[in-house]
Structure 1
Amino acid sequence: MRRQKRDMNTRAFDRGYQVGLSGRSIDYCPHANEEHRQNWVSGWREGRSDHWDGLTGVSGVHKLRAL
């Protein structure tokens, strides 16, 4: 748990993935730091792709990691 809290890049990716999977806009990115923003946007793109592929709900649970 503590390691996850320290790794902001992984957390940014995971949060971006969740936003993309829910179908929300890229404008929801909360990061000003360029490295964190880049990871968030990468996660958002992957989540958005999964959203378009229909991996929402139970069919997409295997892609989510524990936050």
Structure 2
Amino acid sequence: MKRQKRDRLDRAFSKGFQAGIGGRSKELCPYANLDSRSQWLGGWREGVDGRVNGLFNK
């Protein structure tokens, strides 16, 4: 049985989250589409928030 591909918006959120944890700038968002960009930035915000609050060590 083949795995289904993940939703593109979920993937954008996940990539933004990883960028936020890694300390990357939000200006480096690779998405031009408004929906994908907003999901990436939402993930980035959560990642940065978690990093600042000490949930992740980098």
TM-score, normalised to structure 1's length?
Answer: 0.76
Aligned twin of 1:2: 4
Q: CA RMSD in A?
A: 1.1
Unaligned runs of 5+ in 2: none
Instruction: Kindly state the Cα deviation for residue 35 of structure 1 after the two structures are TM-superposed.
Output: 0.3
Q: Within 5 Å, which residues of 2 pair with 1:1-67? A: 1-4=3-6, 7-57=7-57
CA distance in 2, matches of 1:45, 1:29: 12
* TM-score (structure 2 length as normaliser): 0.87
Structure number with greater Rg is 2
List 4+ stretches of structure 1 deviating above 2 A. none
Q: Greater helix share, 1 or 2?
A: 1
Unpaired stretches in structure 1, ≥5 consecutive residues: 58-67
Percent identical: 42
Point out which structure has higher relative CO (alpha carbons under 8 A, 6+ apart). Answer: 2
